Structure formats: C-alpha cells, structure tokens
Structure 1
C-alpha cells in the first residue's frame, strides 16, 4: 500500500516540477517583468544602512 502511495507522490512531484520549469521558461521569453512601484509615498523597501 505504501509503495503505491509513494509512486503516486513521486509522479505528482514530477508533474509539479515540470509545470514550474515550463512556467519559468515562458516567463523568461516574455518581455517586461514586474512594473516599478509608482505610489507617490512609496519609499525604499528597507532603510539603507549608515
């Protein structure tokens, strides 16, 4: 029983990894990316060290 479950879990993991790699490849082919923050009061994400 556990052998069958482990085979299914491994198959599911392989499908997830394949989908992630395919999505990353598509994202690399697209131009652009995340748009810059345009909010007028937006400051730096982290304070700069002195």
Structure 2
C-alpha cells in the first residue's frame, strides 16, 4: 500500500494497525472454533468458515 494512502487511512481509522496485524485463523481457534477455512474471494476480501468445536 502506498505510504500516502496508508496515512490517509490511519487518519480516519485509529485501529488500522491492529486490523492488519490480526491473525484471523489464530483468533478463531483461540475463540473455540475448529481449524477455519479461509479463502480469498476478491483481491481485497476473504471468506472465513469456521465450525464451533
């Protein structure tokens, strides 16, 4: 991501660093889900499917 875009995003989204640092797979497992399936469905989006243990 270009630095100027990141600067603009950070000015309106204070939790952007935490969002990019989130390990979604480990967060789901830590919340009690089985191993999730995570697949990209566009260049900017992904789908996570997880089943409760």
TM-score, structure 2 length as denominator? Answer: 0.26
Flag the structure with more relative contact order, 1 or 2, with Cα contacts below 8 A and sequence separation at least 6.
2
Q: Max radius of gyration: which structure?
A: 1
